[in-house]
Chain A
Amino acid sequence: MSSAEIAVLPETEGFRIRWADLAPFIALALIVLAGALINSNFMAANNLLNVITRSAFIAIIGVGATFVIATGGLDLSIGSMLAFVVGIMIMAMNAMAPSLGVWAIPAGAAVALVVGSLCGLLNGLIITVGRIEPFIVTLGTMGIFRAFITWMTDGGSLSIDNSLRAAYRPVYFGDVLGVPYPVVITIVVALIGAFVLYKTKYGRRVTAVGSNADVARFSGVHVGRVRTLAFVIQGFCVAVAAICYVPRLGAATPTTGQLWELQVITAVVIGGTLLRGGKAHIWGTVAGALILEVIANVMVLSDMVSEYLVAAVQGAIIIIAMLAHRFTSAR
């Protein structure tokens, strides 16, 4: 076999700018620019920080959803799961507050992480062991989690113990060197997510399973385990978001996290992750979450469009993003 005929391979894989991968960031920049033109208050540091902080929940849950969607799955239960985990966490903290004092907060956070992961494990096992469509399973657990939080709050609200309120408040409202905690947490979660997805064998298998589950199976990848673990990661991320959410309002209600699943899926998809799996963009998801929140903010600040139409614009965004993707990838 003469190897002389083979073109010499480049030393590195080469750095090519992929416009499709940059699209969510460019879109974000354009929307920010539009916001700045429409209302001068938009660029105020206060307003920007507020917007970024509020997008943290969708971004953190979105990191987990990126894993699930990359394997070809879908999780509709995340909004209800968040409410459920918030409720459990508040109950656990309130119960531990008399004996542990302020230490009830980290203890409650640990409980939240365990419960969130278990919720994800439940979804994952029903889907992989029971061989049922993720859409159906998580539609079911969505109803179950929502009913549980309604039952736990007795239809009203479940508030955090007053003795913990002051100590816990900074987790949402405080900052490190001017950067709000939720933003720091989002960055850490996204960094870890990107590491797992792009730098570990597990991440490689996630994209392989989403890309073609048969190929993965024939190559000895345990498809069920990879999928299940993606749902556990999703549950864990929901719990992290819950830990940031509790100090914001200090209570859980039956409407906590309602319809967040749609925002999360929107963020993931406009971030460049394929809904059918196989291609995942953690940072695109973060940009997607920011896009949704920035649009809402710009609409509230401007007088041109009623803020009641925010959801309509967000809905239009996902369709436009998909059309743009179809247009760019068709060439």
Chain B
Amino acid sequence: MTAPMPTDAAAGDGAGAPVLRAEGLSKAYGPITVLRDVTMDIRAGEVHAIIGENGAGKSTLMKLLSGHVQPTDGSMSMAGRAVSFADAVQAEAEGIVLVHQEILLAPDLTVAQNLFLGRELTRGLAVDDREMNRRTAKVLARVGSPVRPWVRLGDLPLAQRQLVQIARALLDDRKVIILDEPTAMLANDEVDSLLQIVRNLRDQGVATLYISHRLEEVEALADRVTVLRDGQMIGTWPAAELDQRRMAELMVGRELSGLYPAKRDPQDAEPALVVEDLSVDNGAYQGSFTVRPGEVLGIGGMIGAGRTELIEGLMGLRPAQAGRIAVNGTRIDKQDVTRLMAAGLVYLTEDRKGKGLLLNERLGPNLTLQALDFINPGSRLRRNLETRAVRGAVEEYDIRVRGLSVQAGQLSGGNQQKLLLAKVMQADPKVVIIDEPTRGIDIGNKSQIYRFIDTLVRGGKAVVVISSELPELVGLSDRVLVMRGGRFVAELTGERITEQNIVYAAASSGRDTAKRTRA
């Protein structure tokens, strides 16, 4: 891959001196290093974007810089003076604040009450609401929010709440403001006004670190861009030297290993699953796709692109309207997990602990919960059937357990995932949808799961894999659909299934936005 040489000393367009500098910053959790040797600086009056795939180390870097997490190695300095933060409060005292991606505000309090939560102004014993409202109005004006301070936060639309969160960060004078995917939950016009606010902050001399998946935003906004990949810093470039495609290439840049089973020859067969015009409330719009037996269909896209929502809608787990759904040629009138399972379609959730397994229960109840009527006819439980199912699953899916009375919550992530896979396979489905098949599990279990998927497909099943890990998507899929903003935006087959193409389709608008307003 040819990339422009990183020009470390590249002057950000008229930007000032470095406000915050990180030198050789590293973070390890036990033996696992999640961030290695990052050296970068942030200057007054610049927007510095950090880009990278999911898991590249962006959030870790943000948390290190803002004091939420402490580095295992390396140092930080502010204007030449060495600093270290034991917690976020110390970082805030130095004028560095992280604005989280999720909205961490109390919906039942007013905007002003939220802004001053934990640091309320008082006059005597009473809280000074008038002064807090006054200062809130001032800071809201600074971010260009029309909201009034005494409005209940929960009554505001999401975009306005996001602005309130940014306003909260600006309540005290800040030197560095770190925005973690501020536009993840915003609609297009809301994004535009947020970008304008960031530009205003820049013009006021604030140094802004901007983390985003959306490359067009980065292109439109950033003065400099730092790329992370697999916990390594790849380099820092002036944004003017990069376009969206180049950024996608820099984010990926990795060879496939022998981790993945060889691809299969796609068969010409009737689709095992047909979905037409499936719309899910607040998540996905008019999704249509088919999967054939013997095929792995990958669904790619950034987090929040509506992939999980689409499938949960398909399974009847969210309010959704479908044009037509057919499993194995059988048309489905009413979507319901049990009916779909009976027709031959199952779904393996991405939320293993929250929606997949009963962590306090033993293997048996977990394994048989979904397919209980299939394994065990009649209303009386027969333990021998359950035990037989557990033994079969432990053998077939290589679940490592000390004994059958072990609780699911005591298993390792990889074994939990295998148990979950065994669970949805109990009713011998024809189509299996797996959401994030290897999230949070080690490489050995990963490769086993890939082999199980390969075995299923070679056995004539149809498999849909949703994954945020690009190498996984490329390594497993015979065909990839990419989602963005709740819609399918690209279909990739054969040689065209590459990480670059997926990232490009998932993150770019497809059109190269006009260069930044400020040259």
Interface residues of A (CB under 8 A from B): 1, 3, 5-7, 9-10, 13-14, 16, 198-205, 207-208, 211-212, 214-222, 278-279
Answer whether residue B324 sits at the interface, using C-beta atoms and an 8 A cutoff: no
Q: Name the distance in Å between A275's Cβ and chain B's nearest Cβ.
A: 15
Indicate which residue in B341, B360, B370, B403 contacts A9 across the interface (CB closer than 8 Å).
B403
20 further A-B pairs in the complex, CB-CB below 8 A; given A13-B405, A201-B379: A6-B395, A6-B401, A9-B391, A9-B401, A13-B404, A14-B405, A207-B361, A208-B369, A212-B355, A212-B359, A215-B354, A215-B357, A217-B317, A218-B317, A218-B356, A219-B369, A219-B370, A220-B337, A220-B338, A278-B360
With A212-B358, A216-B369 as contacts: A9 and B404 at CB distance below 8 Å: yes
Measured between beta carbons, the chain A residues less than 8 angstroms from B341 are 220
The 4 lowest CB-CB distance pairs between A and B, nearest first, are A220-B337, A220-B338, A219-B370, A219-B369
A92 to chain B, nearest CB (A): 32
CB distance from B220 to the nearest CB of A (A): 39
A236–B294 alpha-carbon span in the complex (Å): 52
Residues in B with CB closer than 8 Å to A6 are 394-395, 398, 400-401
Give the nearest-CB partner of B455 in chain A. Answer: A1
Our pick among A9, A217, A220, A278 for the contact of B394 (Cβ within 8 Å) is: A9
A198 to B365 alpha-carbon distance, docked (Å): 11
Chain B residues, Cβ within 8 Å of A199: 380-381
Chain B residue with minimal CB distance to A198?
A: B381
Interface assignment of B192: CB less than 8 Å from any CB of chain A:
no
B113 at interface by CB-CB < 8 Å: no
Q: Across the interface, which residues of B come within 8 angstroms of A198, CB to CB?
A: 381
Whether A201 and B381, one on each chain, are in contact in the complex, defined by CB atoms closer than 8 angstroms, is yes
A215–B360 CB distance below 8 A: no
Chain A hits for B359, CB < 8 A: 212
Q: Which residues of A contact B448 (CB under 8 A)?
A: 1
Which residues of B sit under 8 angstroms from A215, Cβ to Cβ? Answer: 354-358, 369
In the complex, the answer to whether B365 meets A214 with C-beta atoms within 8 Å is: no
**CB nearest neighbor in A for B361:** A211
Point out the residue from A3, A9, A207, A279 that lies within 8 Å of B398, measured CB to CB: A3
Q: 7 A–B contact pairs at CB < 8 A?
A: A6-B395, A9-B401, A201-B381, A208-B358, A208-B365, A212-B358, A218-B355
B373 lies within 8 A of chain A by Cβ: yes
Task: Please determine whether A208 and B379 come into contact, CB atoms closer than 8 angstroms.
Answer: no
Q: In this assembly, does B270 line the interface, its C-beta being within 8 Å of a C-beta of chain A?
A: no
The smallest beta-carbon distance between A326 and chain B, in angstroms, is 16
Known: A208-B365, A211-B358, A220-B338. A7 touches B402 (CB 8 A): yes
Chain B residues with CB under 8 Å of chain A are 317, 336-338, 341, 347, 349, 351, 354-362, 365, 369-370, 372-373, 376, 379-381, 391, 394-395, 398, 400-405, 423, 448
A211 to chain B, nearest CB (A): 5
Q: Kindly identify which residue among B365, B395, B404 contacts A3, using a CB–CB cutoff of 8 Å.
A: B395
Chain B residues lying within 8 Å of A207, measured Cβ to Cβ, are 361, 365
Chain A residues with CB under 8 Å of B398's CB are: 1, 3, 6
Contacts across chains A and B counted by CB atoms under 8 Å: 93
Q: Are A201 and B372 in contact (CB under 8 A)?
A: yes
Q: Which residue of A lies closest to B376 (CB)?
A: A201
Q: How far is the CB of A4 from the nearest CB of chain B, in Å?
A: 11
Kindly state the separation between the CA atoms of A169 and B41 in the bound complex, as whole angstroms: 89
> Nearest-CB distance from B494 to chain A (Å)?
30
B358 x A14 contact (CB < 8 A): no
Chain A residue contacts of B361, Cβ below 8 A: 207-208, 211
- In the bound complex, residues from chain B placing their C-beta under 8 Å from that of A7 are 401-403
Assembly CA distance A187 to B450 (angstroms): 53
Q: Contacts A1-B398, A6-B394, A204-B372 hold; do A220 and B405 have CB atoms under 8 A apart?
A: no
Q: How far is the CB of B50 from chain A (nearest CB, A)?
A: 33
> Which of A198, A202, A211, A220 has most B Cβ within 10 Å?
A220
- On whether the beta carbons of A279 and B360 are closer than 8 Å, the reply is yes
Report A276 CB to chain B, min CB distance, Å: 11
Q: How many angstroms from the CA of A10 to the CA of B351 in the assembled complex?
A: 31
| Interfacial chain A residues near B372, Cβ < 8 Å | 201, 204-205
Are B405 and A218 interface neighbours, CB within 8 A?
A: no
Bound-state CA distance A203–B383 (Å) is 13
Of A1, A214, A218, chain B has the most CB atoms within 10 Å of the CB of: A218
CA distance A7 to B398 in the complex (A): 11
Query: How distant is the Cα of A14 from the Cα of B404 in the complex, in angstroms?
Result: 9
Task: List A contacts of B356 (CB < 8 A).
Answer: 215, 218
Given A13-B403, A218-B355, verify A203-B394 contact (CB < 8 Å).
no
Q: Please indicate the chain B residues that have their CB under 8 angstroms from the CB of A221 in the complex.
A: 369
A227 to B358 Cα, complex, angstroms: 17
A4–B361 Cα gap in the complex (Å)? 26
**A13 to B, closest residue via Cβ:** B405
Contact between B360 and A211, CB atoms less than 8 A apart? yes
Given contacts A6-B400, A14-B403, contact A204 B380 (CB under 8 A): no
Give the Cβ gap from A192 to chain B, nearest Cβ, in Å.
Answer: 13
Report A-chain residues with C-beta under 8 Å of the C-beta of B379.
200-202
Partner of B354, one of A1, A203, A214, A219: A214
- Shortest distance between the CB of B499 and any CB in chain A (Å): 29
Q: Which residues of B contact A216 (CB under 8 A)?
A: 369
The distance in angstroms between the C-alpha atoms of A200 and B382, with both chains bound, is 8
* Chain B residues in 8 Å Cβ range of A205: 369, 372
Residue in B336, B351, B380, B402 whose CB lies within 8 Å of A220 = B336
Instruction: Name the residue on B nearest A217 (C-beta).
Output: B317
User: Residues of A contacting B362 with CB < 8 Å?
Assistant: 13
Residue in B373, B394, B395, B405 whose beta carbon sits within 8 Å of that of A201 in the complex: B373
B395: chain A residues at CB < 8 Å are: 3, 6
Max count, chain B CB within 10 A of own CB: residue among A13, A205, A219, A221: A219
Tell me, in angstroms, the Cα distance from A10 to B387 when the chains sit together.
11
Q: Is the CB of A10 within 8 A of B370?
A: no
Contacts of B337 in A (CB 8 A): 217-220
Q: Note all chain A residues with C-beta closer than 8 A to B376.
A: 201
Among A200, A207, A211, the most chain B Cβ lie within 10 Å of the Cβ of: A211
A14–B403 Cα distance when bound, in Å, is 9
Residue pair A10, B403 in contact (C-beta under 8 Å): yes
Distance in angstroms between the alpha carbons of A13 and B407 in the assembled complex:
12
Query: Given the complex, which residues of A lie within 8 Å of B402, measured CB to CB?
Result: 7
**Residues of chain B contacted by A219 (CB below 8 angstroms):** 337, 369-370, 423
Q: Which B residues touch A9, using CB under 8 A?
A: 391, 394, 401, 403-404
Known: A6-B398, A9-B404, A220-B341. A200 touches B381 (CB 8 A): yes
Residues of A within 8 A of B338 (CB): 220, 222
Considering the complex, give the chain A residue whose CB is closest to the CB of B368. A204
Contact A214 B355 (CB under 8 A): yes
A105 to B370, CA, bound (A): 44
Q: Which residue on A lies nearest to B315, using beta carbons?
A: A218
**B351, B369, B379, B394 — which one has the most chain A CB atoms within 10 A of its CB?**
B369
Q: Closest approach, in angstroms, between the C-beta of A330 and any C-beta of chain B?
A: 15
